[in-house]
Amino acid sequence: MPAEYTAFHGLYEDFMFWSIIVGIIVFVWMIYAVLRFRQGMVDESKLEKLEPGVFPKERDNMTLETAWIVLPTILVAWLCVLSWQSLYDAWGNPPSDEEAFVVDVTATQWNWAFTYTEPITVEETADGLPYTLAVAVSDGSISVSTGTMDVNLTAIWTNGPASGQFNISDGGATQNTIIDLQETMILKINDADGDEVYSFQRYPAQSSSAGEVYVPCGEDIKMNMISERLGEADAVLHALFLPEWGVKEDVVPGVTTMLYFTPQETGTFDVVCAEYCGMRHAYMTMKITVIPVADSVYDGCRSDA
């Protein structure tokens, strides 16, 4: 079910309610008709002999015919009214590339490729640490501080042109090194027992993440999508579906389509293909991780929430 803050959550409940009502009416009538008119319950010798293609005028029931035209029409019209807001949210008000965090999506048989158009940093600190761990990565240095706490930590980093490690003690350390901010930067800090207490990943613009895509919480996320040929596999129709936000859009060969949403809670959610695209269609899955933003207006987006 879509998240509660999306327009699709209430819509899902409304459609389920009316589907149940209609289903009850249909099945009650069907069961009644099956039991009431089953073989042996009606004297067939008294039945009127009907001719194929001829409906006796005396069997007309204008009230019944009007009812089963008017009532379903009203129901369908009402469901269309309920759907209007969700249609507007899904297609009616797309953010511009300047306003949104944009990710380019390329679909192939049978993979998703996500490319960032601007940098994004993913940080995670282990719970329950008895000290404050502050990390800063800049052009040429990595700084780690644990305040006044004297702990033994090891930082291991990789960044395109270089990699290495250094130890942290006496409250902190700074490593002057080669850092290329145009390359993916990965930094992990382990304690004396080898347990990971901190991880840092920075994806620069035009880089891709395999198996998972990261987006900031509380911002408009816009995905520009296209389907392409990969080797001998043709470019075919796909559909990017994000169940958490109830949004789906076709990904078409040779045509750029667009999907947008605004996550208001952090977490990791499913990405699936909702358009049959070949024998490995069911394996065309990935994960989307919404990362916290310290100054977000949404409580579910802040790391301290």
pLDDT of residue 171: 74
**Residue 155 and residue 180 in one domain:** yes
Instruction: Give the single-character DSSP code of 42.
Output: S
| Residues 78 and 226 reside in one and the same domain | no
> 98-126, pLDDT tens digit by residue?
899 999 999 998 899 999 999 999 988 88
**Of 149 and 100, which is predicted with more confidence?**
100
Q: What are phi and psi of 53, to 5 degrees?
A: 85, 0
Residues 198 and 252 occupy one common structural domain: no
Contact (CB, 8 A) for 293 and 275: no
Domain end call among 158, 181, 203: 203
| Structure confidence at residue 18 (pLDDT) | 86
Question: Among 155, 174, 203, where does a domain finish?
Answer: 203
Kindly state whether residues 291 and 187 are assigned to the same domain.
no
- Domain count for the chain, please give it: 3
Q: Are 221 and 261 in contact (CB under 8 A)?
A: yes
Contact 142, 179 (CB under 8 A): yes
With a pLDDT cut of 90, the percent of the chain lying above it is 35
In this structure, what CATH number is given to the domain that contains residue 130?
A: 2.60.40.1260
Q: With respect to residue 51, please indicate whether it lies within any of the assigned structural domains.
A: no
Closest CA to 271 of 124, 97, 107, 95: 107
The per-residue pLDDT for range 258-282, each reduced to its tens digit, is 999 999 999 999 999 999 998 889 9
C-alpha span between 92 and 84 (Å, rounded): 10
Report how far residue 156's alpha carbon sits from residue 149's, in angstroms, rounded to the nearest whole number. Answer: 20
Q: Band the pLDDT of 149: cuts 50, 70, 90.
A: low
State the Cα–Cα distance between residues 137 and 181, nearest whole angstrom.
9
Q: Indicate if 161 and 76 belong to the same structural domain.
A: no
Is 66 in the same domain as 105?
no
Q: Which domain holds residue 161?
A: 120-203
Which class for 207: exposed (0-12), middle (13-18), buried (19 or more C-beta within 10 A)? middle
CATH number at residue 110: 2.60.40.420
Q: Could you tell me the two tokens for 192? A: 């004396």
Pick from 171, 132, 169, 174: nearest CA to 157: 174
Band of pLDDT at residue 127, cut at 50, 70 and 90: confident
226 vs 162 pLDDT, higher one: 226
Residues 189 and 293 in one domain: no
Mean pLDDT of 56-61: 72
Average pLDDT across the chain, whole number: 86
Query: Do 186 and 242 belong together in one domain?
Result: no
pLDDT given for residue 222 in this prediction: 95
152 plus 164 within the same structural domain:
yes
**Are 71 and 153 found together in one domain?**
no
Is 213 in the same domain as 292?
Answer: yes
